[in-house]
Amino acid sequence: MCDYSLEAYRTRPAREGERYVTTRFASGSIGLAAPGDPSIPVCVPCDTAVRLVAIPAELRERHGLNAAEDATFVHLDHGTWRDGVRFRNGAIVSLQALPTGIGVTVAALLENAARRFEGVTAI
């Protein structure tokens, strides 16, 4: 899933095991891009298991996170932008609220995501 604000770009799908970084594109939207190729947004399907690293202190304090966290890519039902992540502690954060430079690794795509997060309670 790529936010509508990235539809004008040539995009590519995420791949399991790949590492990306939060990037601000020319449209002003924040999305994911492969390091070394910051001009092409990577589209991550809803319910994909991801691991975020290098989470800044301010974001950690605000949402009760560690420097590295497992999360699930989610579709937000409100607001202008709809891409977000749900952390294991239940905190849901829009991609637009993440600073650039956070590392994101795709842990498991759709069909594998449910098994990876069995027992996590949805909010």
pLDDT score recorded for residue 52? 98
List per-block mean pLDDT (blocks of 10 residues) for the chain, which spans 123 residues.
62 90 91 89 92 97 97 86 92 95 89 50 42
pLDDT score recorded for residue 123? 37
Q: Where are the beta strands (DSSP E) in 27-122?
A: 30-34, 37-43, 49-53, 69-75, 83-87, 92-94, 103-108
pLDDT score recorded for residue 37? 87
pLDDT score recorded for residue 117? 47
Sign of the torsion formed by the C-alpha atoms of 99, 100, 101 and 102:
positive
| Tally of CB atoms within 10 A around 22 | 19
Instruction: Tokens 């970084």: give the residue.
Output: 21
* Both structure tokens of 78: 């409100």
pLDDT score recorded for residue 55? 97
pLDDT score recorded for residue 121? 46
Domain extent listing, the chain: 4-116
Q: Are 98 and 29 in contact (CB under 8 A)?
A: no
* Both structure tokens of 12: 């590519």
